Amino acid sequence: MTTTIVTGGASGIGAAIAAELIARGDTVVLADLNGTGAAEVAERLTAAGPGKAFGAALDVTDAAAVRELYEGVARDHAGLDLVFNNAGIAIAGLAEELTLDHWNRAIDINLKGVVHGVDAAYRIMRGQGRGHIVNTASLAGLVPMPMGIPYTATKHAVVGLTLALRAEAAVLGIRVGALCPGFIATNLLRTVNAGLPETGMSSKADAEVPKIYPADKLAKVVMKGVRRNKAVIVAPAYGRLAWLGARLSPAGAVRASRLAADGYRKEHGI
């Protein structure tokens, strides 16, 4: 049995990963800004068993709070085996539609939130001489995704951080990998630019989540990748193709992105 922390665990990818962990008998702490939601998901997953889940309120932008939670879990459960630094937000719109508030929110949560989780987990795992850290980036961290460059920039940073840390950590017995999903059917798509100035891509109050790749299917791919200690986990299949295309022809990937951006400008009269 392993002890795991999943941030952003109250919904979406985090909750789906937690369900897979509980199904195999793990002890899982679901940490989320929505502490009530995390507790509700934890109760439901524990009832399903055979593992046990606990909910915890956590703001990943608070480094001290992140360290306190991670160290407390390690202390209470005689170690910390697996961490998913998964919490994140969606920012979208053309560069000229965005403000520094969009940039700062993306950096604070999508990048610094991961940094805080890595810092806390790595300190513990170095002492143990073992552990596995998975940082959620995005397909946008592997390809030049337009209409959301703060999001794209932070996700590229997470991929770079993860791969460089993987190189350093291997000799210490610590595994590190990046999760880079494409578009997944989660509530993240309902909260684009939440609490920030609107752009043409901001979510509407009555927005429905598109019937695209489900989070529970992604979670199975994630756990397979974790078992294999993959450096980068990419799903669905179109994401792997897009990543391959960007590696083979960076200029071609930019041209494809330009077509998307030009179409958006035309649609919105920008």
The predicted model gives 72-82 an average pLDDT of 97
Residue 205's pLDDT band (boundaries 50, 70, 90)?
low
The predicted model gives 153-159 an average pLDDT of 98
- List domains and CATH numbers for the chain: 3-241 (3.40.50.720)
- Residue range 213-232, pLDDT digits in tens: 999 999 999 999 999 999 99
Give this prediction's pTM: 0.95
The predicted model gives 160-164 an average pLDDT of 98
Q: Looking at residue 67, what is its pLDDT?
A: 98
Is 92 in contact with 192 (CB distance < 8 Å)? yes
Active-site entry in 70, 122, 151, 213: 151
Q: Which residues contact 222 (CB under 8 A, 6 or more apart)?
A: 13, 17, 20, 134, 179, 233, 235
Arithmetic mean of pLDDT over the chain:
96
* Torsions phi, psi for 49 (to 5 deg): 60, -170
**Integer angstrom CA distances of residue 246 from 111, 144, 181, 182, 241:** 23, 8, 15, 14, 9
User: Residue 55 CA to chain centroid, in angstroms?
Assistant: 18
Tokens 């306190």 found at: 68
Residue 42's pLDDT band (boundaries 50, 70, 90)?
very high
Residue 213 falls in the annotated catalytic set? no
